[in-house]
């Protein structure tokens, strides 16, 4: 299989595979994984947390800030099921079967989300919102099997030395496709009739999500170890792994502080700043996608050259400061949205890339599924979900109390709070890795500056 996303990217992949000496069937499997990841990313533009589609649907279902936080938190809370799924995968070694059953069913449910507003005419005003929460919970619980299958499966196929560059190529391709697809989705939301736009959009999203899962049916199943019957003590072994626990603690704290405000920025832009879906997509998703295309390959090389910790330190500081652009927002002003998404994407793609590689480096091959499951559960539940719910609760409490009115409203207050907390996390909690590169953040910053000024040596 050859990816038809441009000759340059396909050539880069083929060169990467040849350098690693990968067999043709492994190359084909990695290409199908990349295609699946692309479909999953397009699915996420419609069905992911805090997307324009989900913001509009939540508004139509009259969800308040806390209810909206709950909608964002449910998929993360469901990650707790990754632990029993990880034990099941390690014992049975049937990754493909679980992705093509649990994962496919989870994505199929999304085709029904757009039909929920129609329930308002036949049922009480709260019925569609409750139905949304139920469908989301079922889908999220089934989706818990996907992550514990995908990460170990990929790590068994791809040697460690090519993972950073593979991820950077993948993310560059995804960003380019997100850019085009996001604009199309936004125009559909703005121009389709109100009674059909969510039906059409979420059916498309559900189909893309199912295509993501189907791609894994064409991937070769490879296991680096024999089946392992994990007992509950396996979780205890993870908890005793101090370097890995430091990584979990840091990323959990980062996810918590980020999600105090992140889920509400799109809603703030649409409801308070008065931007339409197309403006949000162009100055939000499109701006971030363009920046990701420009910088992603550099982050991939930086991980391989300077190490994950240096990339994490530099990228998280930039990502934390990017949200401060919203502190200068005014109704109808798209500049803060564009600055936040463009500058933010330049850095958060680096922090996410570093976090992914740090998980793979810090987890042993034989028990990687349970390590990934514990990592995902802790960061999703105590980080993303709790942060989102806390942010929604604070916003509702501040509104009830009448705090933060005028130009510095409650949304700007929580953005400022989250920014300060994120910088504290970066300054105190980013851990080193025993097998990380010797590069320093200062060396990385110098390299980035040299690249910007055209003085970097290749």
Residue 59: strand, helix, or coil: helix
- Crossing angle of helices 335-362/242-259, nearest 10°? 160
Domains and CATH numbers, the chain: 12-452 (1.20.1250.20)
Percent of the chain at pLDDT exceeding 70? 91
CA 195 from chain centre, in angstroms, equals 30
Q: Tell me how crowded residue 86 is: count the other CB atoms within 10 A of its CB.
A: 29
Do residues 257 and 387 make contact, with C-beta atoms less than 8 angstroms apart? yes
What mean pLDDT is predicted for residues 75-95? 82
Residue 430: per-residue pLDDT = 86
- What's the start-to-end Cα distance of the chain, in Å? 31
Dist. CA 303–CA 317, nearest whole Å: 16
Q: Tell me how crowded residue 252 is: count the other CB atoms within 10 A of its CB.
A: 23
For 249-270, write each residue's pLDDT tens digit. Answer: 999 999 999 999 988 998 899 8
For 217-254, write each residue's pLDDT tens digit. Answer: 999 988 776 666 656 677 788 888 888 999 999 999 99
Residue 163: per-residue pLDDT = 82
Dist. CA 226–CA 229, nearest whole Å: 10
**What letter would DSSP give residue 158?**
S
Q: Tell me how crowded residue 237 is: count the other CB atoms within 10 A of its CB.
A: 16
Residue 434: per-residue pLDDT = 56
Distance (Å) of CA 161 to CA 29, 104, 357, 429: 18, 31, 11, 26
Do residues 146 and 102 make contact, with C-beta atoms less than 8 angstroms apart? yes
Residue 215 in this model has a pLDDT that exceeds 90: yes
For 336-375, write each residue's pLDDT tens digit. Answer: 989 998 888 889 888 988 888 888 788 887 777 778 878 8
Dist. CA 32–CA 196, nearest whole Å: 33
Which of these ranges, 32-36, 85-89, 340-344, has the smallest mean pLDDT? Answer: 85-89
Do residues 69 and 225 make contact, with C-beta atoms less than 8 angstroms apart? no
What mean pLDDT is predicted for residues 167-185? 86
Residue 9 in this model has a pLDDT that exceeds 60: no
Distance (Å) of CA 364 to CA 338, 358, 368, 395, 437: 41, 12, 6, 41, 18
Average pLDDT, the chain: 85
Q: What b/e readout covers 145-157, taking b as 16+ CB neighbours within 10 angstroms?
A: bbbbbbbbbbbbb
Do residues 131 and 119 make contact, with C-beta atoms less than 8 angstroms apart? yes
What mean pLDDT is predicted for residues 194-220? 93
Residue 110 in this model has a pLDDT that exceeds 90: yes
Please state the pTM of the whole predicted model: 0.73
Query: Pick the residue with more confidence: 327 or 10?
Result: 327
Q: What b/e readout covers 351-378, taking b as 16+ CB neighbours within 10 angstroms?
A: bbbbbbbbbbbbbeeebbbbbbbbbbbb
Dist. CA 197–CA 203, nearest whole Å: 10
Dist. CA 284–CA 274, nearest whole Å: 14
For 44-65, write each residue's pLDDT tens digit. Answer: 999 987 788 888 898 888 888 8
Residue 2: per-residue pLDDT = 46
Nearby residues of 179 by Cβ (< 8 Å), 6 or more positions away:
285, 286, 289, 290, 293
Residue 1 in this model has a pLDDT that exceeds 50: no
Percent of the chain at pLDDT exceeding 90? 30
Residue 4 pLDDT grade (very low, low, confident, very high; cuts 50, 70, 90): very low
């Amino acid at each position: 299989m050859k990816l038809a996303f441009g000759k340059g990217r396909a050539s880069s992949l083929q060169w990467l595979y040849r350098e690693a000496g990968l067999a043709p069937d492994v190359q084909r499997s990695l290409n199908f994984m990349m295609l699946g990841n692309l479909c999953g990313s397009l699915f996420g533009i419609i069905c992911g947390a805090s997307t324009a589609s989900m913001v509009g649907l939540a508004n139509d279902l009259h969800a308040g800030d806390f209810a909206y936080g709950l909608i964002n938190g449910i998929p993360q809370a469901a990650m707790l099921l990754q632990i029993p799924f990880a034990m099941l995968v390690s014992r049975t070694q049937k990754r493909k079967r679980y992705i093509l059953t649990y994962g496919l069913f989870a994505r199929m449910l999304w085709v029904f989300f757009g039909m929920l507003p129609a329930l308002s005419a036949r049922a009480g005003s709260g019925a569609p919102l409750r139905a949304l929460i139920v469908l989301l919970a079922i889908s999220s619980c089934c989706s818990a099997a996907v992550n514990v299958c995908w990460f170990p499966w990929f790590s068994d196929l791809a040697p460690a030395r090519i993972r950073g560059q593979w991820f950077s190529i993948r993310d560059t391709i995804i960003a380019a496709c997100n850019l085009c697809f996001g604009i199309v989705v936004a125009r559909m939301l703005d121009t389709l009739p109100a009674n059909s736009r969510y039906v059409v959009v979420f059916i498309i999203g559900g189909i893309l999500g199912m295509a993501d899962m189907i791609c894994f049916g064409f991937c070769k199943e490879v296991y680096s170890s024999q089946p392992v019957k994990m007992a509950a003590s396996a979780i205890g072994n993870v908890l005793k792994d101090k370097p890995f626990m430091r990584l979990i603690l840091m990323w959990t704290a980062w996810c918590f502080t980020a999600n105090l405000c992140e889920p509400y920025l799109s809603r703030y832009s649409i409801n308070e700043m008065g931007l339409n879906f197309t403006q949000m997509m162009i100055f939000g998703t499109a701006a971030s996608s363009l920046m990701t295309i420009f910088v992603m390959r550099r982050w991939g090389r930086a991980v391989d050259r300077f190490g994950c910790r240096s990339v994490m330190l530099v990228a998280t500081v930039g990502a934390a400061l990017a949200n401060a652009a919203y502190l200068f927002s005014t109704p109808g002003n798209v500049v803060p949205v564009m600055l936040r998404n463009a500058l933010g994407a330049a850095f958060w793609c680096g922090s996410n890339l570093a976090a992914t590689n740090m998980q793979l480096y810090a987890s042993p091959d034989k028990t990687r599924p349970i390590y990934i499951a514990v990592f995902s559960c802790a960061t999703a539940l105590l980080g993303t979900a709790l942060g989102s719910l806390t942010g929604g609760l604070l916003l509702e409490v501040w509104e009830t109390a009448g705090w933060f009115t005028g130009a510095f409203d409650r949304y700007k207050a929580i953005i400022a709070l989250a920014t300060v907390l994120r910088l504290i996390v970066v300054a105190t909690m980013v851990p080193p890795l025993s097998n990380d590169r010797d590069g320093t953040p200062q060396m990385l910053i110098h390299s980035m500056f040299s690249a910007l000024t055209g003085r970097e040596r290749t």
